[in-house]
Chains A and B, each alone.
Chain A
């Protein structure tokens, strides 16, 4: 692994971002809209006299979800950028290693996630007077990292699928994270799900992060077991998804998918 090649890709991703309005929109537009909708809904529910305190974990959920969502989508979309520009031929003829490509995607998606996080923190703080940093900071950092890992798992997995099946599957680049959101108990506890959905949800690492978030907000206690499950499962999945990605790229090289543009 050579850092100057990772740096080359980070530079490229940065220039793509500043030259393409959509990539700037990604960071701000949908996350902020999401926050506004939930913010206003919660205000209304609160006026109806619902239980106080629900505010915090829903805001916390929205803001932390961003790490999972952004990480997944950014990895897939920046891989797609190279498909759209048909530059894979030049990229793969260069000394770049697959591991360097993956690491630069990790780093860049992390930077973009932090930017979105910053925006959401500010808006939640100013408009809805919610300060996410009142949550136990150790727990918060651990949650963020776990969600990032899961976002990377999904991003790398879907990138592999794109390498293998081309741009006809590009819709998944934007939608995979949303597929697991309903089952990840971002806004509601696991116990509130119907039985069959609980059976699915309990396997997802994300569920254990958001359950842990609620527990910390309510009781101040960190659920180490839940966190351990989230970390072990997402690290295993990360290794698997990277292997899958490698295989997909190798298959694409066999089938001449890197340089033929459909």
Chain B
């Protein structure tokens, strides 16, 4: 069952076409990562889903309902955390969270707030005014707000920005353990790879690729290989003859890109030893999400 369905969504700001007819679904309790360069249109999509921005055209269903027609039903079961949003600076952390607890009709607000503050390790900030917190601290308060109603659908727009590594790790773990359908954007590839069930790459208002991390990785048919030999003379020539692209050659160490459409690593190694070279060390660097990202952005995939 799909928790979020988006069909041919379009949005422009004046003359800027920010989202150019996007369609995708998110299954119930799935975490979908939205990746893309700055200005790709990720935030625009999140704002439209959150109900703070009106789409130009297209169809959206959240939990099976049209959010424009059944705003209350949808909004009660959804929440959002984004650094674009803030809470009231002159009020304390507790007061702010209480306001949203009440707005979302949360039962036992006090206990819920204490639990959340404890979870994000900001219990000691409970009675501090929000304007006195650091960026990372207020981001944690925003995250508390984002899950205060135990949302079934959660929109997270660069919500780990500015968190220290320990809290960022903890936040990822918290997010992963939530029983929620999550749309997640971030520029941290490792985070996205670790957290998300599926990933959608977008650029200039369009989705270029969508799939699981491993299915996307399969799209890349090349790997980087680093080999260390017992001698250096003749290496450059030898690789040239084999039609293999050398990325760097320093003394007895060669880094090259192997294209599996043309070569098999096994055959290559045989050829190398036949030629009288001895391989002392070999490192194969698998394609990372970052490599995919760059290739997709360059339209090489």
Contacts and interface: CB of A to CB of B under 8 A. Distances in A.
A177 B13 CA distance: 35
Interface string B64-94: 0000000110011011101011111111100
A90 B85 contact: yes
Nearest to A20: B90
A48 to B, nearest CB: 48
A18 to B, nearest CB: 10
Contacts of B86: 85-87, 89-90
Contact of B82 (A5, A81, A89): A89
Interface residues of B, number: 34
Interface string A218-262: 000000000000000000000000000000001001111011000
Interface in A95-153: 95-97
Nearest to B80: A93
B87 A4 contact: no
B52 A89 contact: yes
A96 B103 contact: yes
Chain B contact residues: helix, strand, loop or mixed: mixed
A88 interface: yes
A8 B88 CA distance: 13
B85 A8 contact: no
Given A8-B103, A12-B91, A20-B90, A259 B52 contact: yes
A94 interface: yes
Nearest to A85: B88
B90 A95 contact: no
Contacts of B72: 95, 97
A93 B92 CA distance: 21
A93 B87 contact: no
A87 B87 contact: yes
Contact of A2 (B13, B95, B105): B105
A173 B89 CA distance: 21
Interface centre among B13, B51, B90, B104 (most CB of A within 10 A): B90
Interface residues of A, number: 34
A20 B131 CA distance: 13
B129 to A, nearest CB: 7
B50 interface: yes
A16 B72 CA distance: 26
A19 interface: yes
Contact of A259 (B71, B84, B92, B104): B84
A144 B78 CA distance: 42
B119 to A, nearest CB: 19
A19 B92 CA distance: 9
Contacts of A19: 90-91, 129
A85 B102 contact: no
A40 interface: no
B214 interface: no
Nearest to A100: B103
Contact of A94 (B47, B54, B75, B92): B75
A7 interface: yes
Contact of A254 (B54, B85, B104): B54
Given A15-B95, A86-B85, A93 B102 contact: no
Contacts of B90: 16, 19-20, 85
Interface string B102-126: 1111000000000000000000000
A92 B79 CA distance: 11
A93 B102 CA distance: 14
Interface centre among A4, A16, A87, A255 (most CB of B within 10 A): A87
B294 interface: no
Nearest to A89: B85
A95 B137 CA distance: 26
Interface in A37-86: 81-82, 85-86
A15 B90 CA distance: 9
Given A250-B54, A258-B52, A90 B100 contact: yes
8 contacts: A5-B105, A16-B90, A87-B86, A90-B85, A92-B52, A93-B78, A94-B104, A95-B72
Given A11-B99, A15-B99, A256-B13, 19 more contacts: A5-B102, A9-B103, A11-B102, A12-B88, A12-B99, A19-B90, A85-B86, A87-B85, A87-B86, A88-B52, A89-B47, A90-B145, A93-B52, A93-B75, A93-B85, A94-B104, A95-B104, A253-B53, A253-B54
Top 5 nearest A-B pairs (CB, nearest first) are: A8-B102, A89-B85, A95-B75, A86-B86, A93-B50
